[in-house]
Structure 1
Amino acid sequence: MRSQEDGLRDRVAEFVRTRVMPCEPVLDAGGPHAAAVLRELQARARQEGLWALPLPSELGGQGLPFAGYARLAEAEGASDHGPAALGSASLLDATMLWKHGGDRIRGRYPARLAAGELRACYAMTEPDTPGTDPFATATRAEEQPDGSWRVSGRKWFVSGAGGADLVTVLARTDGEPGDREGLSLLVVPTDSPGFHVVRELPVLGAGGQWEIRFDGVGVAADHLLGGRGQALPIAAERLRLGRTLRCLRWLGQAQRAFDLMCVRACSRTGSRGALAGHQLVQSHVFEALLALRTTRPLVHEAAAKIAAGLDAHVEVGLAKVAAARMLQQVADAAVQVHGAAGLGPDTPLPALLRTGRAARILDGPDELHVTSVARRVLRAYEGGAT
């Protein structure tokens, strides 16, 4: 018997398949036309009751618990533009500001983010420091006599910074680069004097990542997120949720690539019949399906632990590595079965393959997660414990 959740998932999948995917070429190109098309999709999502499903009801969302949203996130994420069209792209920023911001931040930004009136981004990685080591952060926020802050430094690979209204920036408020203390998060309106978008950073030819610079940007005292020196617990909370969301969406994208591969195998014929009759093609299908089926439980285990408020460090690390590798593998197999057509502009496969490859570096490279998970597991065995 189908549940209400199954029906909602089907509605989300149908919306992404029939409304969002046909608009992908326009949305990928960016610019005013893309913005207008996105607004039309968002209006349609509101009309169909699909807008901001996982956002808190206090912010105008539908308050769907994360445990329920996890299944929808796969269908929503089958297109890179699905979360923005359906109003869940602001989930990380809106909930972070709502949970950790002071009265002014809570009153000014989260609801407008949830409504799609504002866009936010998150700036952590720097050009001249290892992205895997937040303690090396060199961007500095100096406290002023009136309690405000002045931020100076550079950040890069900031998703969506080119069109953002707000940026939450990781900066050093005390100590020196390398110190394990003294890191804070500040919320900076991007129309502040001294804030600059330096350049877009195409990832394997695709846009969306940016380098930004802070030249003595003034930040109000009440735009400190959490408290002074409290950045790392907030950042870790955000990263665990963000990585799990991306894994769920990568599952949706891998399923899309898998479906395209199977359709191609059954419809493409040559002198020896359909591709589906070739053992090597069958091998691609089997290995891709195996990767999908073995990765999905890992990702949903991580999502379930986060939804329950449990420690999910190991589960998120396993899921992130497995999902990134899986998306790259499945998309690559789909390209191979399509042949030259899989390399061209007539399918989404080049974009899916690019996402899979980039996923193994961005948001923490495989090596970081492998080491982190292994260390945590081995601690349980130290001293002869079993």
Structure 2
Amino acid sequence: MYEPITRPEETNDLRALVRRICDDHQMPLEERILRGEQVSWEDHRPGREAAKEAGLWGLRLPESLGGADLSVYDLVNCFEEAARPLAQLRFAGGLPAALVSAEGEQYERYTRPILEDRMRWAFAQTEPSGGGDPGGALRTTAVRDGSNWVISGSKVFISGVDAADIVLVVALTDPDKRQRGGISLFAVEKDNPGLTIAREIEVLGGLRVHELFLDDCRVEESALLGAAGGGFAEAQKLLSTARMTVAATALGIADRALEMMISYARTRSVFGGPLSEKQAVQGFIVDSWTEIHQARLALYNAAGRTDAGHDTRVEAGMAKLLGTETVGRVLDRAIQVHGAAGTSLDSPLAHWYGLQRLSRIYEGPSEVQKYRVIARKLLEH
């Protein structure tokens, strides 16, 4: 399919490598999902191992930690390709920013096991009081008690808990300061008696997330990640890059949905001719292609400026906004072109439709990106 974006040759080689891994390992898993089979985390292991053997391990980590040390630009290109199969390729070895420079006990307890794929982590910020305004809505507290911290509160809609060994909990350590030095980040091991996984919640797309309770959950000083009061900044580090990878995932799915739309329109005959000759369908295809192109330019701009050392919270928010809004429209058009076949769970389109509706909410809803991130920055002067 024609694409008017010129990437560096090494980036194209990287994309081709990820696509080969996906074709070999993830596409067969997609076929199983479309047959109604359950696919587990362990079923994804061959793909993760193939990526590791190819050097795609800890994509953003420095080589000194065994990582691939990719630029953000190459990172988002990897995520685009990894999202094309319904059984998305999950790169392992990802490390929270607060643990990259960990030493001593923290390194041995958390960093090394994560790097060696012996430990997985989940990120717990959202609470029943709200997730779009973590600084203002946060109610979970952590209070010093001698050499320990005692955490109390609840979290909801937390993904990845079922496969995680530790949960990174965002908590208030100074309610008066809040996001200006009063929020900290803690690693809570899942077998901690003060941590309860209360219930599993099934959401759109067949995903399952969890509600957590922290009832006088006692952790040692070494569970504090980074400096006390630095948790909001650490969470934002996670979220800024995460917003770009969410956008990249959305665009990878949108790209494949567009390819499916074009292929189906070429082969489907209706009212005496190919569906591709109908003006409405041509409009769907052109509009989708144009929106994907514009969203991709915004994403690559955000990634490139991040690599150059700029503060790109606004650009990352714009990339997420455009990418996630675009994929929703593209999937809607693709399903319309496919007709009833597009609504069937025999097609990845129907699965993606529910999954990608979620992307406009998590890691910062579309409205937050518009009015709290982008508009606020534009109106500063």
TM-score, structure 1 length as denominator? 0.89
Provide the rounded CA distance (Å) in 2 between the counterparts of 1:263 and 1:276. Answer: 9
Matches of residues 1-386 of structure 1 in structure 2 within 5 Å? 3-24=9-30, 26=32, 34-79=40-85, 81-84=87-90, 86-87=91-92, 90-91=93-94, 93-99=95-101, 101=102, 103-145=104-146, 147-175=147-175, 181-372=181-372, 373-380=374-381
Secondary structure of residue in 1 paired with 2:170: strand
Unmatched 5+ stretches in structure 1: 381-386
Provide the rounded CA distance (Å) in 2 between the counterparts of 1:118 and 1:161. Answer: 12
Give the drift of 1:40: 2.6
TM-score, structure 2 length as denominator? 0.90
Q: CA RMSD in A?
A: 2.4
1:157 and 1:210 in contact (8 A); partners too:
yes
Unmatched 5+ stretches in structure 2: 1-6
Offset from partner CA, 1:304-362 (integer Å, 9 cap, x none): 12222211122112111111110101111111111111111111112222233211122
2:345 and 2:351 in contact (8 A); partners too:
no
Structure 1 stretches of 4+ moved >6 Å: 27-31
1:193 and 1:217 in contact (8 A); partners too:
yes
Paired residue for 2:3? none
Paired amino acid for 1:265:
A
Paired amino acid for 1:40:
P
Counting aligned pairs with the same residue, the percent is 31
Give the drift of 1:27: 6.8
Paired amino acid for 1:3:
E
2:139 and 2:153 in contact (8 A); partners too:
yes
Provide the rounded CA distance (Å) in 2 between the counterparts of 1:368 and 1:2. Answer: 33
Secondary structure of residue in 2 paired with 1:34: coil
Distance 1:354 1:170, change over 3 A: same
Distance 1:144 1:209, change over 3 A: same
1:135 and 1:177 in contact (8 A); partners too:
no
Provide the rounded CA distance (Å) in 1 between the counterparts of 2:234 and 2:78. Answer: 25
Secondary structure of residue in 1 paired with 2:206: coil
Paired amino acid for 1:170:
V
Offset from partner CA, 1:78-116 (integer Å, 9 cap, x none): 2464342x42xx53x4444214x4532223323332332
Structure with bigger RCO (C-alpha 8 Å, 6+ apart):
2
Secondary structure of residue in 2 paired with 1:379: coil
- Larger deviation, residues 290-299 vs 348-357: 348-357
Distance 1:202 1:3, change over 3 A: same
Paired amino acid for 1:109:
Y
1:185 and 1:224 in contact (8 A); partners too:
yes
Offset from partner CA, 1:213-233 (integer Å, 9 cap, x none): 112222110111111111111
